[in-house]
């Protein structure tokens, strides 16, 4: 059965259930059927060809319905958040050459000419009759190896590339999510990640295929802590899905504890390293909850490994491991690099055979992907993440893993957050290692730094000792809710360095 068929079946089974809870209003599965019907009809009339459809909107009901409607017509959707900078939007549009552009939020003046030929969907006709909805035709709908969506990577490590994920990649991911974590009937799932970030599929597809509800945060709520805490305190959430950096923000609110949120019983993280510190704080706040660390790049469809985080696990590991591979996937270590093999590996980079050939390959007749992440497998058969290979630098002739230093800094009780940056000269030679820290001291002075160094010294090789310590009140996050290392480097070194 195609994913969209399952979703439509669920919608017909639970028409009155809430599918999306936005800040201002709830939408039902019945309304989802109506919106899909209207948008797909309009698209079928107006699309120029069978190419993907550019979907420009916010994280809301209408954008979700649009993405599903696009799949119903047999096309792939490209989700682009309405707050995406102009240059990036233009770059994606030029690369995609879409068959249609659908916008679900008013377009800012600056984007008006760029998105000139657009189909606007700001509302739907809620009065559509029952029989018209049941007529939804799925014969054209995306299936098998056809592309389900194209998500552009954030570009932390270069020019953004469009990852083309097939229907079967997504089906395998959804089946895994639905069977490998806690089963919660009528699951109310947090939708924090933007649709343009593949962490969003962790919420969308498990929810829609099981009759769950998406508790969707607006942009205002994710950037304004007061609004965020207000919303969390008046919402019922069973399953929490976010980046670790996002839950760090929520842990600042004293009411983010099990006593105030007894219904919040499951946490699933992905997208960046879950630090020991964050995991410990969360376990202290929600001692009974099932907490999972999952790992994977966009190129392998959401996540491909997981581990339950418990006090025992934290006692046994100084760095939270990434666990064991999902069914259908094999993780291998080749030359210290994590290689993903199997049915989660995406089709490649959209219409970019050169970049695809650099990262994707065949192994024993299966699709395989070079993650660019360093890792190892331990005696328990558990995979461990050792940082990104491109965050390894040569300093004074020694090979140094910046994230290794970070994890040791984080093991010190007074360090809340840590990023180590390599400062390069004009010839790309590393001339300094700069530890950028958030600490529990308002005005750290020289003596404070000296003390930190003394504490750090027995934990690392002496050539790994940062040459400079910089203290910040907090770290900037990118629009995907991960620590923004590029912006941090610009803040610390100045724009031209
Ligand atoms: N549980 C985890 N622990 C540690 N690192 C993780 C975890 N989950 C994801 N990551 C890191 O995030 C990467 C995947 O991120 P994603 O696919 O969102 O793109 P990105 O790397 O942020 O963007 P770009 O590819 O443009 O640089 C992984 O390769 C890994 O480095």
36-87 pLDDT, tens per residue?
999 999 999 999 999 999 999 999 999 999 999 999 999 999 999 999 989 8
Ligand 1 centroid – CA 398 distance (Å) = 25
Q: What is the pLDDT of residue 497?
A: 46
Ligand 1 centroid – CA 190 distance (Å) = 20
Percent with pLDDT over 70 in the chain: 97
* CB-based burial label for 50 (10 Å; 0-12, 13-18, 19+): exposed
Q: What is the pLDDT of residue 155?
A: 59
* CB-based burial label for 255 (10 Å; 0-12, 13-18, 19+): exposed
Q: Where are the beta strands (DSSP E) in 408-472?
A: 415-424, 430-439, 468-471
* Helix intervals (H) in 181-224: 201-208, 219-223
Residue nearest to atom 10 of ligand 1 (CA): 272
Q: Cα–Cα–Cα angle for 161, 268, 182, nearest 5°? A: 130
Task: Please indicate whether residue 154, judged by its CB atom, sits closer than 6 Å to ligand 1.
Answer: yes
User: Which contiguous run of DSSP H or E holds residue 449?
Assistant: helix 446-456
What is the interface pTM, i.e. ipTM, of the complex? Answer: 0.96
Average pLDDT for consecutive 10-residue bins of the chain (497 residues)? 97 96 95 95 96 97 98 98 91 94 95 94 78 81 98 69 97 98 95 96 98 96 94 97 96 97 98 96 98 97 98 97 98 97 98 94 97 96 94 90 94 96 90 96 94 95 94 93 93 74
Q: Is 144 annotated as a binding residue?
A: no
Task: Please indicate whether residue 407, judged by its CB atom, sits closer than 6 Å to ligand 1.
Answer: no
Ligand 1 centroid – CA 430 distance (Å) = 24
Q: Is 482 annotated as a binding residue?
A: yes
Task: Please indicate whether residue 153, judged by its CB atom, sits closer than 6 Å to ligand 1.
Answer: yes
CA distance linking residue 408 with residue 462, whole number of Å:
13
Q: Looking at ligand 1, which atom is closest to the CA of residue 156?
A: 27
Ligand 1 centroid – CA 14 distance (Å) = 35
Task: Please indicate whether residue 349, judged by its CB atom, sits closer than 6 Å to ligand 1.
Answer: no
Q: What is the pLDDT of residue 132?
A: 64
Alpha-carbon separation of residue 92 from 58, 121, 176, 222, 331 (angstroms): 17, 21, 30, 24, 31
Alpha-carbon separation of residue 335 from 357, 370, 372 (angstroms): 19, 11, 11
Q: What is the pLDDT of residue 479?
A: 87
| Cβ-Cβ contacts under 8 Å for 185 (sequence gap 6 or more) | none
Q: Is 89 annotated as a binding residue?
A: no
| Cβ-Cβ contacts under 8 Å for 165 (sequence gap 6 or more) | 147, 148, 149, 150, 151, 198, 298, 301, 346, 347
Q: What is the pLDDT of residue 129?
A: 65
Ligand 1 centroid – CA 357 distance (Å) = 20
Task: Please indicate whether residue 371, judged by its CB atom, sits closer than 6 Å to ligand 1.
Answer: yes
Ligand 1 centroid – CA 480 distance (Å) = 11
Q: What is the pLDDT of residue 172?
A: 98
Task: Please indicate whether residue 452, judged by its CB atom, sits closer than 6 Å to ligand 1.
Answer: no
Task: Please indicate whether residue 271, judged by its CB atom, sits closer than 6 Å to ligand 1.
Answer: yes
Task: Please indicate whether residue 274, judged by its CB atom, sits closer than 6 Å to ligand 1.
Answer: yes
Q: What is the DSSP letter of 272?
A: S
CA distance linking residue 236 with residue 38, whole number of Å:
30
User: Residue-wise over 287-311: b if at least 16 C-beta within 10 A, else e?
Assistant: eebbbbbbbbbbbbbbbbbbbebee
| Cβ-Cβ contacts under 8 Å for 71 (sequence gap 6 or more) | 3, 4, 77, 141, 142, 148, 167
CA distance linking residue 222 with residue 197, whole number of Å:
15
Task: Please indicate whether residue 373, judged by its CB atom, sits closer than 6 Å to ligand 1.
Answer: yes
Angle, in degrees to the nearest 10, between helices 402-410 and 276-285:
40
């Amino acid at each position: 059965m195609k994913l969209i068929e399952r979703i439509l079946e669920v919608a017909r089974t639970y028409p009155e259930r809430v599918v999306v809870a936005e800040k201002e209003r709830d939408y039902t599965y019945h309304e989802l059927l109506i919106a899909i019907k209207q948008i797909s009809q309009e698209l079928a009339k107006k699309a120029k060809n069978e190419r993907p459809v550019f979907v420009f909107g916010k994280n809301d009901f209408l954008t979700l319905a649009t993405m599903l409607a696009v799949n119903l017509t047999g096309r792939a959707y490209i989700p682009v958040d309405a707050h995406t900078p102009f240059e990036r939007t233009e770059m994606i549009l030029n690369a995609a050459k879409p068959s249609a552009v659908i916008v679900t939020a008013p377009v800012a003046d600056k984007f008006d000419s760029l998105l000139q030929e657009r189909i606007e969907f700001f509302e739907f006709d809620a009065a559509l009759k029952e029989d018209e909805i049941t007529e939804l035709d799925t014969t054209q709908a995306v299936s098998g190896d056809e592309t389900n969506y194209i998500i552009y990577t954030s570009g932390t490590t270069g020019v953004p590339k469009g990852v083309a994920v097939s229907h079967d990649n997504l089906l395998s991911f959804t089946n895994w999510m639905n069977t490998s974590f806690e089963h919660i009937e009528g699951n109310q799932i947090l939708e924090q990640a933007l649709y343009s970030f593949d962490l969003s599929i962790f919420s969308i597809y498990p929810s829609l295929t099981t009759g769950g509800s998406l508790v969707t945060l607006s942009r205002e709520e994710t950037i304004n802590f007061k609004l965020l805490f207000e919303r969390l305190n008046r919402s019922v959430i069973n399953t929490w899905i976010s980046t670790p950096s996002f839950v760090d923000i929520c842990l600042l609110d004293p009411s983010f504890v099990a006593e105030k949120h007894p219904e919040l019983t499951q946490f699933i993280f992905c997208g960046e390293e879950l630090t020991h510190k964050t995991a410990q704080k969360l376990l202290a706040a929600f001692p009974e909850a099932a907490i999972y660390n999952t790992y994977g790049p966009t190129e392998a469809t959401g996540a491909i490994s997981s581990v339950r985080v418990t006090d025992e696990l934290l006692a046994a590991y100084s760095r939270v491991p990434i666990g064991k591979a999902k069914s259908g996937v094999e993780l291998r270590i080749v030359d210290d690099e994590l290689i993903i093999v199997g049915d989660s590996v995406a089709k490649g980079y959209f219409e970019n055979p050169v970049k695809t050939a650099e990262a994707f390959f065949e192994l024993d007749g299966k699709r395989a992907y070079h993650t660019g992440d360093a890792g190892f497998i331990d005696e328990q058969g558990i995979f461990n993440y050792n940082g990104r290979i491109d965050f390894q630098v040569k300093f004074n002739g020694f090979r140094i893993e910046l994230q290794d230093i970070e994890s040791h800094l984080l093991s010190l009780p007074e360090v809340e957050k840590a990023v180590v940056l390599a400062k390069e000269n004009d010839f790309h030679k590393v001339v300094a290692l700069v530890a950028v820290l958030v600490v529990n001291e308002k005005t750290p002075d020289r003596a404070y730094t000296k003390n930190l160094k003394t504490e750090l010294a027995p934990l690392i090789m002496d050539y790994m000792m940062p040459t400079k310590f910089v203290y910040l009140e907090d770290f900037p996050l990118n629009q995907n809710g991960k620590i923004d290392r590029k912006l941090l480097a610009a803040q610390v070194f100045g724009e031209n360095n």
